Amino acid sequence: MEPKVVYQTERLVVRDWTESDGDRVFDIYRRWEVSRWLGADPRVMTDRDAASRTIERWNTRNADAVYGIWAVEEKATGVVAGTVLLVPLPSDGPSSTGEVEVGWHFHPDSWGRGLATESAQGAIAHGFKAGLGEIYAVVRPDNSPSIAVCKRLGMQPLGLTSRWYDAELESFVI
pLDDT for 62 equals 87
Comparing C-alpha atoms, which of 28, 22, 71 is closest to residue 51? 22
Of the listed ranges 38-42, 43-47, 85-89, 117-121, the one predicted with least confidence: 38-42
Number of structural domains in the chain = 1
What residue numbers bound the domain in which 112 lies? 5-173
In this prediction, residue 97 has a pLDDT band, given cuts at 50, 70 and 90, of: low
Edge-first strand listing for the sheet containing 156-161 = 5-8, 12-15, 68-74, 80-88, 100-106, 136-139, 169-173, 156-161
Q: What is the CATH number of the domain that holds 95?
A: 3.40.630.30
pLDDT digits (tens, 9 = 90+) for 25-83: 999 999 999 999 998 889 999 999 999 999 999 999 888 889 999 999 999 999 999 99
pLDDT for 40 equals 80
Q: How far apart are CA 40 and CA 140, in angstroms?
A: 10
Q: Is 46 exposed, middle or buried (0-12, 13-18, 19+ CB in 10 A)?
A: exposed
In this prediction, residue 153 has a pLDDT band, given cuts at 50, 70 and 90, of: very high
Q: Residue 98: pLDDT above 90?
A: no
pLDDT for 93 equals 54
Mean pLDDT of 98-127: 97
In this prediction, residue 159 has a pLDDT band, given cuts at 50, 70 and 90, of: very high
CB 65 within 8 A of CB 130: yes
